[in-house]
A and B are shown apart, each in its own frame.
Chain A
């Protein structure tokens, strides 16, 4: 919970987004303006059109002069939206659901309608607060919600219909679980009476998603909606964040009820296990270990995204170098002299060297993932390990720590900083020799790449992008070689600037995640660094980008191959291409598919660049063009992501 609260600093106030969205909807989609709540009387005849059988008596028009105490709090800033319903007026379950979302502070949702979720969409049109960004695929919707959450720290919300709509959410939910991203997914479900009858578009999504959500709900009583929604948001954002799914049968969406907003949440077991403020004696112990160590190194991950201030202070006080996981990039500025950049399979030589040689590994907000550790026995084999994580199940899961604290890293860092200050650590701690040893490694094995004639090295493209955006853009990626290069060569300055599918490694993540990030941060520069394989997996979201006019720049590193798998083929399968060529085999000289035509189909300006000399100009042009833009950068497929430690291998390369 604290995790979510502290992160609000990075977001930009929303009102401008609303103005633009409401004005746009009134121009283009006239049909939807009708039920907007400016005139409450109008809703009545409109609603009677699609009443099927559940609603028999017509509802009385809202007096709209009386305020419900709670809804007035949410609408104080927007005087043009009177409460849609009087407090004791019965309304549909879908309206209760939407109001519950409003009460959670939701302003944007990513919802794709269908038979079982129509009611929710109807109710959304009646909400003056919530804007729907219509994705073109439910997977795009859930990835966009993830992008929204990753970029803002606030829970992302996506809505889909039953059956195929719900199953299309699966990859996104799994991704959010593995990367601990707070999202709330709402799905329509067939009416209660038809559950279990294999009805049209019925899937038991609660069953399907059980192992890939933090928790999920099947609403079986309309009166439970307020409680379930607040529980869902609480669960998604508290402790170790994660995805929560709410499955709402259609008859409950239609059922009339008077909501009771004061039903308390009931999570006794969960509440009792939420991590407490860390124990001072444990923190003292960690500080003592720091004082005893000669070669300490920090290993920080996604758990530190909300505590970058404290982390920076901690590093200033101690002078300990920082290696970051893929998820933790940006928690500590990558360009800082104490940063060792990313560690792990494709991490820098010096980051992996530091972990290998260290005598104290400070693992904060990490989970010792196999991409980082390689062979577990060989990982940090000389070091004492300190593990701080919010999830007690992570501690000792893969590697047994010597000292462990189960707590929010932010509180732990605060406590340690206090202790360090009181001990005057800054003047006493001296790791200069260790830093020099690492600096030597840095200069000996910097990140580098080869150049082939006029061809554009993909790493160079990212370096130029970094320069031209001054390291300030929000970067999203797909999965594969381009993802690793984007992790290595872009210098992230702050957390929530780097959006990537780490744990699940879901291709097609980049474009929809950029949509979410752009919705959460209007005005920010959002660049989707994508590969040709990943891009095409959710290419339909170009339509969303155009329609919403989101200023997303797509820098496509197009090598006509499924690069990462190809790299493995080159190394371990004698370069035998097993379906990793994504171009047209009968016309290998041409670029296929022509990505520019995809952009053209959606009215997005695009260009292709093939020569190194033209690259800087082309990227500058992309950034200068207002609105969305696609830049197809043709890169050679011979490039490998280096350095590389194959799984099971050791550091020595």
Chain B
């Protein structure tokens, strides 16, 4: 891994549905001129897919940082990355930090006596500048999503998208290649349901090679909800989304190893974000996995067995700040643009690219906010969505509004 370290950020956008082929491959492992290539891959929402993709990179010795269907490095593009930084502060340095936060248009998400957690979005260059400026205050923890990117639209083009809405473009023929994707899902279910062709023999004889019950009462918790799928409160079985924060060595194959353990043991990844951590040579992986406290506890033990793993923490039951970044491209003609911008301003989303047939917005926030915005923009026609996984840091303040919900506070 001496030369070509390909920075690819692993952010899986679940909202966008199913697998599509990667069109451009990465350049060979030869030149000493290292370039960062952004490759978008849209993937099917099934257990193990992330691992397979990560495997392709790791096998060739590349280091991963953004998984979304075309090599768009050479095209004009919107690049954004999200970073949560926890800093040590004391009264003397606080004003300067606040000033810097202001300059970089960051937001404070949590504050306590000695620490400050801030959220910054921007392109990789800005991230580097932020880090350089803040490094003197001693960065305590750092969680990054890695970069996501959407292509900038040229003026006067028609939409090349694979999921446009006919309503937005009545002038275009509806040639939706979306059918390909739906068949994939059907397969998925077929794969689960068969396997008990010999069920009668097994149940009557009581003598299968493995001591398991027949398949009927065995339900696999596949994807919870293909779109958002997060369970904040546990349901009756104790199932809920757990947020794990891990520190790993930054070497090729680590992501694959981590996702391998998760998929091999039958867990499903809802969200995954990888980025450099506060220390050189370490990466922080933030991932969201549904499970019960017990099953996630076992997963943590198995993750601990990885040699390249430094630390795993299940921060679900601690107050933590979580943020996610979304770039969303909406098909709107100039006529409807005003409406979209109105909605955007309510959500404090920023317009980052505009053409005569689309507009691209950038939004940070927690998952519910993403979902709400996307739902509102749906009628206009969403062309593309790129989301980072969630990044999360424990709140030093110890306060999380989610925990206050049960209390009779005046609202």
A residues at B contact (CB < 8 Å):
192-193, 195-197, 204, 206-207, 210-211, 214-215, 218, 220-221, 235, 267-270, 273, 370, 373-376, 391-393, 396-397, 568, 571-573, 646-649
Does A196 lie within 8 Å of B30, measured CB to CB?
no
B6 to chain A, nearest CB (A): 12
Does B211 lie within 8 Å of A195, measured CB to CB?
no
User: A-B contact count, CB below 8 Å?
Assistant: 91
Given contacts A195-B61, A207-B55, contact A648 B206 (CB under 8 A): yes
Residues of A contacting B201 with CB < 8 Å?
Answer: 572-573
Does B211 lie within 8 Å of A648, measured CB to CB?
yes
Residues of A contacting B339 with CB < 8 Å?
Answer: none
Does B264 lie within 8 Å of A211, measured CB to CB?
yes
User: Which residues from 213 to 227 on chain B have a C-beta closer than 8 Å to any C-beta of chain A?
Assistant: 213
How far, in angstroms, from A397 to B29 measured CA to CA in the complex? 42
Given contacts A210-B260, A572-B201, A572-B205, contact A373 B211 (CB under 8 A): yes
Does A220 lie within 8 Å of B2, measured CB to CB?
yes
Does B207 lie within 8 Å of A648, measured CB to CB?
yes
B residues at A contact (CB < 8 Å):
1-2, 28-30, 55, 58-61, 201, 205-213, 249, 252-253, 256-257, 260, 264, 298, 301-302, 304-305, 307-311
Does A649 lie within 8 Å of B2, measured CB to CB?
no
How far, in angstroms, from A373 to B309 measured CA to CA in the complex? 32
Does A220 lie within 8 Å of B61, measured CB to CB?
yes
Does A196 lie within 8 Å of B257, measured CB to CB?
no
Residues of B contacting A373 with CB < 8 Å?
Answer: 211
Please give me the residue from chain B that is nearest to A231 by CB atom: B307
Given contacts A193-B30, A196-B59, A197-B28, contact A393 B305 (CB under 8 A): yes
Residues of B contacting A572 with CB < 8 Å?
Answer: 201, 205, 207
Does A195 lie within 8 Å of B29, measured CB to CB?
yes
Does B211 lie within 8 Å of A196, measured CB to CB?
no
Q: Besides the contacts A196-B60, A207-B55, A649-B206, what 8 more A-B pairs have beta carbons closer than 8 Å? A: A196-B28, A196-B59, A267-B307, A376-B211, A396-B298, A571-B205, A647-B208, A648-B212
Do most interface residues of chain B lie in helix, strand or loop, or is the interface mixed?
Answer: loop
How far, in angstroms, from A370 to B252 measured CA to CA in the complex? 35
Given contacts A195-B61, A211-B260, contact A397 B298 (CB under 8 A): yes
Does A196 lie within 8 Å of B29, measured CB to CB?
yes
Residues of A contacting B28 with CB < 8 Å?
Answer: 196-197
How far, in angstroms, from A525 to B42 measured CA to CA in the complex? 60
How far, in angstroms, from A267 to B308 measured CA to CA in the complex? 8
B292 to chain A, nearest CB (A): 13
Residues of A contacting B211 with CB < 8 Å?
Answer: 370, 373-376, 647-648
Does A649 lie within 8 Å of B307, measured CB to CB?
no
Residues of B contacting A396 with CB < 8 Å?
Answer: 298
Please give me the residue from chain B that is nearest to A397 by CB atom: B298
Residues of B contacting A647 with CB < 8 Å?
Answer: 207-212
How far, in angstroms, from A27 to B212 measured CA to CA in the complex? 58
How far, in angstroms, from A391 to B257 measured CA to CA in the complex? 19
Residues of A contacting B60 with CB < 8 Å?
Answer: 195-196
Other-chain residue from A269, A374, A392 in contact with B310 (beta carbon distance below 8 A): A269
Please give me the residue from chain A that is nearest to B214 by CB atom: A648
Does A393 lie within 8 Å of B304, measured CB to CB?
yes
Other-chain residue from B213, B256, B298 in contact with A207 (beta carbon distance below 8 A): B256
How far, in angstroms, from A568 to B202 measured CA to CA in the complex? 12
Please give me the residue from chain A that is nearest to B261 by CB atom: A211
29 contacts between A and B (CB under 8 A): A196-B28, A196-B60, A204-B59, A206-B58, A206-B59, A207-B58, A207-B256, A210-B256, A211-B264, A218-B61, A218-B252, A268-B310, A269-B249, A269-B310, A269-B311, A370-B210, A370-B211, A375-B211, A376-B211, A393-B298, A393-B301, A393-B302, A393-B305, A568-B207, A568-B209, A571-B205, A572-B205, A647-B211, A647-B212
Residues of B contacting A218 with CB < 8 Å?
Answer: 61, 252-253
A216 to chain B, nearest CB (A): 9
Residues of A contacting B302 with CB < 8 Å?
Answer: 393
Please give me the residue from chain A that is nearest to B58 by CB atom: A207
Residues of B contacting A215 with CB < 8 Å?
Answer: 307
